[in-house]
A = this chain, B = another copy of it.
Amino acid sequence: MSNTVTNFTQRTINYEKLLGDFKVLLKKNNLKFTIQREVILETLYNSDEHLTPELLHHLLQDKFPELKIGIATVYRTLSLLEDSAMVTSLSFGAQGKKYELGAKDHHDHLICTICGNITEFVDEEIEERQHKIADELGFTMQDHSMQIYGICKNCKQ
């Protein structure tokens, strides 16, 4: 494959950095740094899946049973993180909203309409183009999300 358009990148932000950013964000807004908020961030960081609030809640109950984290706290924290653009959500088809950490690294999604599997990719050309378009329309770009829907290799058989 000589002319690769895709560029699978690794997580570029380490957890310490991320946590630091989170703390700064909280302080700036007079919000408190709590153990619940920390483990939610950590769990999102360590998950490679796109998580629904319920799924995340289950994960948290498994990993930190002693904290008895409530579903309301999960929703509250996800909203907080989304408002601050630290996580982004995507929704498609019948399935509900799914969240992922935005800071891990920019990537877009290839979604199989049969098996629901998600492949992530990054394409610099598209990234650049998006910035140009936003600029031209007098828009200050904060984030983006892109999904390509289709049938994956496996499901074609």
A residues with a Cβ closer than 8 A to B are 1, 4-6, 79, 82, 89-94, 97, 110, 112-113, 119, 121, 123, 125-126, 129-130, 132-134, 136-153, 156
Contact = CB atoms under 8 A, between A and B. Distances in A.
A86 B53 CA distance: 29
B143 A119 contact: no
A129 to B, nearest CB: 5
Given A5-B129, A89-B91, A133-B123, A150 B140 contact: yes
Contact of A119 (B79, B121, B125, B137): B137
A135 to B, nearest CB: 9
Copies of this chain per assembly: 2
18 contacts: A5-B132, A82-B93, A110-B139, A112-B139, A121-B133, A130-B146, A133-B148, A134-B150, A138-B153, A138-B156, A139-B148, A140-B150, A140-B151, A141-B148, A141-B150, A143-B149, A145-B147, A146-B147
Contacts of A119: 137, 139
